[in-house]
Amino acid sequence: MIDNIIMLVFLFFLSSHIRTSTSVNSLAVNQSIRDGQTLVSSNGTFEVGFFSPGNSSSRYLGIWYRNLSPSTIVWVANRETPLRNKSGILKLNENGVLVVLNGTNNTVWSSKMSNKAVDSSIIAQLLDNGNFLLKIGQDDILWQSFDYPCDTLLPAMKLGWDNATGLNRFVTSWKSEDDPAKGEYSVKIDIRGCPQLVIMQRSVNKFRIGSWNGLGFTGYPIQQLKQKQRYKFVFNAKKVYHQYEVVDSSVVSIYMISSSGNLQALAWTSKQSGRIVIYTGGEDSCDNYAMCGANSVCNMDGNIPKCECLKGYVPKFPEQWNMSYWSNGCFPRIKSVCGDDNIGGFLKYTEMKLPDTSASLYNKTMNLVECQKSCLKNCLCTAYSNLDIRKGGSGCLQWFGDLVDMRKFSQWGQEFYIRLPSSVLAEIEPAAVNGNQNKKKIGIIVGVISFGFILCVCLIILRKRARIYHLAPFKWKQEFFRLTKEDMDLPIFEFSFIVKATNNFSSENKLGEGGFGPVYKGTLTDGKEVAVKRNSKMSDQGLDEFKNEVLLIAKLQHRNLVKLLGCCMEVEEKLLIYEYLPNRSLDYFIFDETRSKLLVWSQRSNIIAGIARGLLYLHQDSRLRIIHRDLKTSNILLDFHMNPKISDFGLARTFGGDQIEAKTTRMVGTYGYMPPEYAVHGHYSMKSDVFSFGVLILEIISGKKNKGFSDPEHSLNLLGHAWTLWTENRPLELIDKHLLETCISSEVFRCIHVGLLCVQQKPTDRPDMSSTILMLNGEKLLPHPKVPGFYTGRGLPEAVSTSSNQMSITTFAAR
């Protein structure tokens, strides 16, 4: 009898021990494990259960390597909500959701709710690669830990963006060895310009790992693990991510971001061996982002960093530079000016970490020769390189403006080419330049002779035409304009009449100046006040823009469009006469520290709504379908009651009934308001105006210019700053400080949401103006916005235009 009792007690303890030390790798619906129990992957590599980090007594659900030393945690579920004792439970509940429960049965963490119907066949399984997932069958994954990394990147784990789902996978450091909560540092793929991998401290770049060149990242040229690892970088319209796998199964290899912000490549050659730190990125001084400022190169001389200006550049502050204070960087010794005949050439650098690509342009199909030609034709292009260095190189990568965050490697770096004026190149490489100069001289001589011949022919033709029409050149222009008079239905003013009305265009009457020319206040003989736009001889807008505006705006009637009263074209003068609006333009108020206080939220909201109604009329309700193409704050005029009126139709274009898009090789407009498909490819549509409207919304709410704005924390433009605040659930921090007491938070939130929808990268993602107005009025559900266009901290000069080549950007008159 006693023996039987002893046997029963033994079996009880044995069964209890078996339940506590379960080695199953999955949970079914309503199954759970308690603190002290674990799930183990089928090959015994990974284990999931509860643990306490370092010297902490708090408990967390995590995943770790089962047999490695030291103990290595690779994922934590409840990293922000620790358990205070060992009462935790991991359960797959009846809704098909993984939950961590505390001792009072309250949920402290859960996986995302699936949008699919609950299926009894759902299981939670720990895979052999360390991925903990919820799935139905073999392929239908509902949730996985690999989509929510912590501080460790494992083989097969993706780091980057899925544009279809909006998912951004990135790695975040622990606060400390004792606290797995999110720390200050993260490893992310920055998708502005050419995508690149960066380590960030909060929202500021700490170490730029660089762009992908086909073999690796340009700022992380380690070779020790490349024979044992295979890298993959996927970069298309739907996805941008990095992934690696281990080729040598005898090696365990991971990447981890430490609590101090260093990215470490760690390896174990066997389970018994200790951990080997193969490489630590962000460790030496040259790894610090923009260590040497702009247009300079960092080089490690032993353990001491040294900064050198690019050839042809000089320190911005020589005294500071000589004291090894380099952060202000360098600038061109001889600055090239767009339009100069001296277009210069290129100087080759080797073994380099390529500059920051957040404001770069790329083309996957160009070769290096085409890339050079494209850059040479574009006076804003400052450097170029191959996008992919495999098989001799392919693709084109170009930079515009300052070159930031470069360093020289002893090996494994990349070649790239900086642009320099010919005079500077002649000093550096005289032989090469002299050869090119000789070719240029021959070309110039041939060109001059050809030009002279053509000029003579043209003069003969013009003289004959002048005899036929008995008109001087300016009279011919006048006659050309009169041909369209019957189409205008618009009063024609005598020039002398306008001279008297504006007091001979006196400086006291001048209201401002735009791309067309100066604007003057005038008073007609009947006492009516008008605004007169006078075409400047220095303006690049001429007869075509003048005629375009007259023909278009004369036929438009809407309360939110400026009214054109008449025009004048005599001698060499081209004048447009408008209704006078006493409160000038929108930028006069919102970008001025004092005057912006006068625009309370109700007025700004009314201005946003008025601009929207005006655009809807242009796109849909007017007799002609009109694309404005230059919508900006200075082209929004304000009447006595601060009602907005859209003005300046010189760059506008009309569409036919079924036309939805057009293309041009002469881009015009203002950078900061131009959408990417127009600035880069020359495509414009109604969605181009929608993008500009979205920029206007964000500028009106923030009181900041998109072009020129730069947050000191992360150097983003206004669109990037607004997007960052949105993704961090802090959108209302965008609000102008002068609005805080007058705004209605829910209305501002909705406007920010609509603004971000309007500035999305792809035109097809942006709403039309009809939907936009409904959304502003709260009559339509708002979808989640996607990444905005030109999400960048560095921009190009304010006015740009591009040729038909998507890589070419050239200047025209600044607007």
How many angstroms separate the CA atoms of 775 and 223, rounded?
53
What's the pTM value of the predicted model, to 2 decimals? 0.56
Q: Tell me: the pLDDT tens digits for 109-152?
A: 999 765 555 667 899 999 999 999 999 987 789 999 999 999 99
Other CB atoms within a 10 A radius of the CB of residue 448 amount to 10
Distances (CA, A) of 518 to 506, 512, 576: 11, 6, 11
Contact status, residue 206 vs residue 183, Cβ threshold 8 Å: no
Residues 6+ apart with CB under 8 A from 273: none
Residue 737 token pair: 């400080």
In the Cβ-directed half-sphere of 762, how many Cα atoms lie within 13 Å? Answer: 8
Please tell me whether residue 345 adopts helix, strand or coil conformation.
strand
Contact status, residue 581 vs residue 665, Cβ threshold 8 Å: no
- Residue 263, beta-bridge partner list: 257, 281
Residue % of the chain over a pLDDT of 70: 80
Looking at residue 651, what is its pLDDT? 84
How many angstroms separate the CA atoms of 205 and 724, rounded?
14
Residue 211 token pair: 């762009």
Residue 471 token pair: 């008109």
If you average pLDDT over residues 640-645, what whole number do you get?
Answer: 90
Strands (E), 525-614: 529-534, 564-570, 573-579
Mean pLDDT score across all residues of the chain: 82
Answer whether residue 11 shows pLDDT above 70: no
Looking at residue 586, what is its pLDDT? 95
What confidence tier does 393 reach under pLDDT thresholds 50, 70, 90? very high
Q: Highest mean pLDDT range out of 73-87, 260-274, 577-591?
A: 73-87
Looking at residue 21, what is its pLDDT? 39
Q: Tell me: the pLDDT tens digits for 732-775?
A: 999 998 888 788 888 999 999 999 999 999 999 999 999 999 99
Looking at residue 481, what is its pLDDT? 46
In the Cβ-directed half-sphere of 604, how many Cα atoms lie within 13 Å? Answer: 32
Pairwise pLDDT comparison (466 vs 76), residue with the higher score: 76
Closest by CA to 772, choosing from 694, 717, 713, 698, is: 694
Pairwise pLDDT comparison (661 vs 637), residue with the higher score: 637
What confidence tier does 534 reach under pLDDT thresholds 50, 70, 90? confident
Looking at residue 595, what is its pLDDT? 86
Answer whether residue 191 shows pLDDT above 80: yes
Contact status, residue 182 vs residue 170, Cβ threshold 8 Å: no
Residue 424 token pair: 């500077």
Other CB atoms within a 10 A radius of the CB of residue 30 amount to 10
Query: 134 burial class (0-12, 13-18, 19+ CB within 10 angstroms)?
Result: buried
How many angstroms separate the CA atoms of 636 and 645, rounded?
6
Answer whether residue 467 shows pLDDT above 50: no
CA angle, corner 121, sides to 96 and 48, nearest 5?
60
If you average pLDDT over residues 190-207, what whole number do you get?
Answer: 92
Looking at residue 517, what is its pLDDT? 82
Q: What sign does the CA torsion over 535, 541, 543, 548 have?
A: negative
Query: 799 burial class (0-12, 13-18, 19+ CB within 10 angstroms)?
Result: buried
Residues 6+ apart with CB under 8 A from 508: none
Answer whether residue 479 shows pLDDT above 80: no
Q: Highest mean pLDDT range out of 38-52, 366-380, 770-784, 790-804?
A: 38-52
Contact status, residue 685 vs residue 659, Cβ threshold 8 Å: no
Q: Highest mean pLDDT range out of 184-188, 199-203, 280-284, 389-393?
A: 184-188
How many angstroms separate the CA atoms of 640 and 300, rounded?
63
Looking at residue 8, what is its pLDDT? 45
Query: 329 burial class (0-12, 13-18, 19+ CB within 10 angstroms)?
Result: buried
Contact status, residue 158 vs residue 170, Cβ threshold 8 Å: no
Residue 3 one-letter amino acid: D
345-353 and 406-408 as β-strands: parallel, antiparallel, unpaired?
A: antiparallel
Residue 166 token pair: 């909006």
What confidence tier does 18 reach under pLDDT thresholds 50, 70, 90? very low
- Residue 801, beta-bridge partner list: 810
Q: Tell me: the pLDDT tens digits for 578-618?
A: 999 988 899 989 998 888 888 889 999 999 999 999 999 99
Contact status, residue 648 vs residue 670, Cβ threshold 8 Å: no
Closest by CA to 396, choosing from 213, 217, 218, 236, is: 213
Answer whether residue 5 shows pLDDT above 50: no
518-523 and 529-534 as β-strands: parallel, antiparallel, unpaired?
A: antiparallel
Q: Tell me: the pLDDT tens digits for 328-345?
A: 999 998 876 555 445 689
Looking at residue 513, what is its pLDDT? 80
Answer whether residue 464 shows pLDDT above 80: no
Other CB atoms within a 10 A radius of the CB of residue 771 amount to 16
Lowest-confidence region among 74-78, 95-99, 709-713: 709-713
Q: What is the 3-state secondary structure (H, E, C) of 777-811?
A: CCCCCCCCCCCECCCCCCCCCCCCEECCCCCCEEC
CA angle, corner 245, sides to 243 and 251, nearest 5?
140
Query: 203 burial class (0-12, 13-18, 19+ CB within 10 angstroms)?
Result: middle
Q: Tell me: the pLDDT tens digits for 541-588?
A: 556 677 777 777 777 888 999 988 888 877 678 888 999 998 889 998
Closest by CA to 608, choosing from 578, 631, 584, is: 631
Distances (CA, A) of 97 to 26, 29, 37: 14, 9, 19
Q: What does residue 278 show for φ and ψ, rounded to 5 degrees?
A: -75, -40
Closest by CA to 92, choosing from 117, 113, 71, 115, is: 113
Cα Rg for the chain, rounded, in angstroms?
33
If you average pLDDT over residues 2-30, what whole number do you get?
Answer: 56
Contact status, residue 493 vs residue 567, Cβ threshold 8 Å: yes
Answer whether residue 792 shows pLDDT above 70: no
Q: Which residues are catalytic?
A: 630
Answer whether residue 729 shows pLDDT above 60: yes
Q: Tell me: the pLDDT tens digits for 487-504?
A: 556 788 888 889 999 999
Residues 6+ apart with CB under 8 A from 788: 694, 719, 720, 722, 723, 756, 759, 760, 761
Looking at residue 432, what is its pLDDT? 45
Long-range contacts from 467-475, C-beta under 8 angstroms, 24+ separation: 474/571, 474/572
Looking at residue 442, what is its pLDDT? 58
How many angstroms separate the CA atoms of 403 and 413, rounded?
16
Residue 804 token pair: 């038909």
How many angstroms separate the CA atoms of 91 and 32, rounded?
4
CA–chain centroid gap for 309, Å, is 28
Contact status, residue 533 vs residue 517, Cβ threshold 8 Å: yes
Please tell me whether residue 776 adopts helix, strand or coil conformation.
helix
How many angstroms separate the CA atoms of 253 and 378, rounded?
45
How many angstroms separate the CA atoms of 103 and 172, rounded?
29
DSSP 398-438: EEES--BSEEE-SSS-EEEEEEE-HHHHHHHSHHHHHHHHH
Looking at residue 20, what is its pLDDT? 39
Residue 372 one-letter amino acid: Q
Residue 269 token pair: 């050659």
How many angstroms separate the CA atoms of 812 and 797, rounded?
11
Q: Tell me: the pLDDT tens digits for 412-444?
A: 889 999 999 988 998 887 644 444 555 555 556
Answer whether residue 242 shows pLDDT above 80: yes
CA angle, corner 309, sides to 307 and 310, nearest 5?
125
Looking at residue 149, what is its pLDDT? 97
